[in-house]
């Protein structure tokens, strides 16, 4: 498979580091000059852009957290006026306000370049017919993949997510050769393909799948690869940094090559904030290099993984992020939507007849993540007639839908059935097995 940008992707590590440093210095100067929030922060810490002389010096800069993005909602951290911003996306379902991100024309070009590289690494060429089954909208997945694949010259079918039977029909009728969506959706599609009596070898032309946006295990990969008779690669990114495109696997499938000329990644101990030893697991902290609309310093992703700098058989020299192990916070990603237990709590506690005891049970049923909220009713309510209980259940489902944007199941349970805790309550029971 050809390497999309061999000058960058096969650059010796030493040279790449020099390149990163040069871009980092420029980024810090640019951000300091254009974002008041950072200028104030650096001034109060008595750090000047010129103080960053080596890549290690980045540790003199403050971290940026998701909370700070929220506090500056919606456009407070933008470094460019709206006349230069050509696209806005937002991160899905976060507590309270979502985080809003913006792109200039150059940012979109940079993003498309990142996607073109990882899609090429995952086997896509201009001969391909690519079915994008990521949602198109505020979510960065659909549009992100779209423009990168267009850059490669693939024929894109922008079908977006949902209506699974139709997805399969399109796949069959249009001869899709590449599938792009979340791994859980791909696995669900595998089941529907079977139910519809479609033979993935005879009836479909799929060869490759580019999957990402949520954690997935090797066994899910195997399920998708066997079910569709394809090679499935993993790719990683997050809206705050750019969206998908931070890193992606090549066909060796041994970690996601980082677009190191655009992203400087540190791995820290989430407790101390210090760098972990090379190759150790920690929280990924990302600084985009050269982004115009929303340049961030040291963004705390809360994603846990480690970085492998060893040589890859594909010939690329860039370091690789290994599979994301989990998150430092309690965010749940259900069907691609970010959900925090605190959002659920917020809704429940406002409803009459509900006791402040609940539990969130996450399962993977038929390869789809489901979330069930077990809610204790209070004594009066439970002794009441059935009709009222059914109504209450419906009300909770609706209120949760309003808050979360997805439908979750609600189960009312008798008073005092949910285990009480002496210490921290265990609100989430996650029965999904991620090996
Ligand atoms: P959304 O719009 O879906 O909320 P975000 O940008 O907020 O998108 O989601 C980014 C998060 O999704 C990451 O921080 C990470 O936790 C998760 N994620 C993205 N890609 C992967 C991947 N390949 N493996 C595991 N987790 C991923
Ligand atoms: Zn490789």
Kindly list the domain boundaries of the chain, sorted by start residue: 1-327, 331-434
Q: How far is CA 353 from CA 268, 300, 346, 410, 412, in A?
A: 44, 39, 15, 14, 11
Of the candidates 194, 141, 318, the residue with the CA atom closest to the CA atom of residue 247: 318
Helix, strand and coil percent figures for the chain, each rounded to 5: 35, 25, 40
Q: Which two tokens stand for residue 319?
A: 């370091």
Q: How far apart are CA 204 and CA 297, in angstroms?
A: 45
Calculate how far, in angstroms, residue 123's C-alpha sits from the geometric centre of ligand 2: 12
User: In ligand 1, which atom is closest to the CA atom of 327?
Assistant: 16
Q: Is 17 in the pocket of ligand 1 (CB under 6 A)?
A: no
Q: Is 91 in the pocket of ligand 1 (CB under 6 A)?
A: yes
Q: Is the peptide bond before 184 cis (omega within 30 degrees of 0)?
A: no
Q: Is 236 in the pocket of ligand 1 (CB under 6 A)?
A: yes
Which strand (E) or helix (H) includes residue 52? none
What pLDDT was estimated at residue 421?
Answer: 55
What pLDDT was estimated at residue 358?
Answer: 85
Of the candidates 435, 434, 431, the residue with the CA atom closest to the CA atom of residue 372: 431
CB atoms within 10 A of CB 357: 20
Contact, 160 vs 167, CB < 8 A?
Answer: no
User: In ligand 1, which atom is closest to the CA atom of 235?
Assistant: 23
Which strand (E) or helix (H) includes residue 428? strand 428-430
Q: Is 177 in the pocket of ligand 1 (CB under 6 A)?
A: no
Contact, 129 vs 173, CB < 8 A?
Answer: no
What pLDDT was estimated at residue 16?
Answer: 97
What pLDDT was estimated at residue 92?
Answer: 64
Contact, 227 vs 193, CB < 8 A?
Answer: yes
Which DSSP category does 89 fall into?
A: E
Domain with residues 331-434, CATH architecture:
2-Layer Sandwich (3.30)
Q: Is 135 in the pocket of ligand 1 (CB under 6 A)?
A: no
Q: Which two tokens stand for residue 219?
A: 């066994």
What pLDDT was estimated at residue 434?
Answer: 58
Contact, 123 vs 231, CB < 8 A?
Answer: yes
What pLDDT was estimated at residue 95?
Answer: 47
For a substitution probing ligand 1, which of 144, 218, 303 has the most ligand atoms within 8 Å of its CB?
A: 303
Q: How far apart are CA 53 and CA 68, in angstroms?
A: 26
Q: Which residue has the tokens 């009066």?
A: 380
What pLDDT was estimated at residue 334?
Answer: 87
Q: Is 213 in the pocket of ligand 1 (CB under 6 A)?
A: yes
Q: Is 239 in the pocket of ligand 1 (CB under 6 A)?
A: yes
Q: How far apart are CA 236 and CA 431, in angstroms?
A: 24
Q: How far is CA 121 from CA 92, 140, 167, 233, 354, in A?
A: 27, 20, 25, 9, 51
What pLDDT was estimated at residue 435?
Answer: 45
Q: Whose CA is nearest to atom 11 of ligand 1?
A: 238
Q: Is 139 in the pocket of ligand 1 (CB under 6 A)?
A: yes
Calculate how far, in angstroms, residue 410's C-alpha sits from the geometric centre of ligand 1: 26
CB atoms within 10 A of CB 146: 19
Q: Is 338 in the pocket of ligand 1 (CB under 6 A)?
A: yes
Q: Domain 1-327 adopts which CATH fold?
A: Rossmann fold (3.40.50)
Mean pLDDT by 10 residues, the chain (435 residues): 95 98 98 98 98 98 95 96 97 68 98 98 98 94 97 97 94 98 88 93 98 83 94 97 98 98 97 96 96 98 94 97 81 83 82 83 87 88 80 94 92 85 66 68
Predicted TM-score (pTM) above 0.85: no
Those residues whose C-beta lies under 8 Å from the C-beta of residue 103, and which sit 6 or more positions away, are 85, 86, 87, 88, 89, 111, 293, 294
Are 1-327 and 331-434 the same fold in CATH?
A: no
Q: Whose CA is nearest to atom 20 of ligand 1?
A: 213
């Amino acid at each position: 498979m050809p390497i999309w940008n061999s000058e960058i992707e096969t650059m010796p590590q030493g040279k790449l580091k020099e390149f990163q440093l040069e871009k980092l210095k420029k980024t810090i100067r640019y951000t300091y000059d254009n974002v008041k929030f950072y200028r104030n922060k650096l001034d109060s810490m008595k750090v000047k852009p010129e103080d960053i002389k080596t890549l290690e010096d980045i540790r003199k800069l403050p971290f940026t957290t998701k909370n700070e993005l929220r506090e500056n909602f919606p456009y407070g951290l933008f470094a460019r006026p709206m006349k230069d911003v050509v696209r806005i996306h937002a991160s899905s379902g976060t507590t309270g306000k979502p985080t809003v991100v913006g792109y200039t024309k150059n940012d979109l070009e940079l993003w498309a370049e990142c996607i073109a590289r990882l899609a090429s690494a995952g086997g896509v060429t201009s001969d391909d017919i690519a079915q994008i089954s990521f949602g198109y909208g505020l979510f960065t997945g659909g549009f992100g993949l779209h423009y990168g694949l267009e850059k490669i010259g693939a024929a894109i079918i922008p079908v977006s997510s949902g209506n699974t039977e139709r997805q399969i029909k399109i796949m069959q009728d249009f001869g899709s050769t590449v599938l792009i969506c979340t791994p859980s959706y791909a696995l669900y599609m595998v089941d529907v393909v079977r139910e519809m009596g479609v033979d993935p070898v005879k009836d479909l032309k799929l060869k490759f799948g580019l999957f990402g946006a949520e954690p997935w295990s090797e066994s899910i990969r195997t399920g998708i690869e066997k079910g569709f008779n394809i090679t499935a690669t993993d790719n990683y990114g997050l809206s705050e940094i750019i969206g998908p495109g931070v890193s992606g696997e090549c066909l060796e499938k041994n970690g996601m090559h980082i677009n190191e000329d655009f992203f400087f990644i540190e791995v820290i101990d989430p407790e101390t904030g210090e760098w972990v030893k090379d190759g150790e697991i920690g929280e990924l902290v990302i600084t985009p290099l050269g982004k115009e609309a929303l340049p961030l310093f040291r963004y705390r992703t809360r994603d846990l993984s480690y970085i492998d700098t060893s040589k890859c058989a594909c010939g690329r020299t860039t370091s690789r992020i290994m599979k994301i192990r989990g998150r430092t916070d309690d965010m749940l990603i259900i069907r691609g939507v970010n959900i925090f237990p605190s959002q659920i709590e917020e809704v429940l506690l406002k409803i009459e007849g509900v006791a402040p005891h609940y539990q969130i049970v996450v399962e993977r049923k038929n390869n789809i993540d489901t979330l069930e909220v077990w809610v204790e009713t209070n004594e009066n309510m439970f002794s009441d007639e059935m009709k009222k209980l059914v109504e209450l259940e419906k009300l909770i489902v609706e209120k949760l839908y309003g808050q979360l944007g997805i439908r979750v199941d609600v189960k009312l349970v008798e008073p005092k059935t949910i285990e009480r805790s002496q210490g921290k309550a265990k609100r989430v029971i996650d029965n999904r097995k991620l090996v």
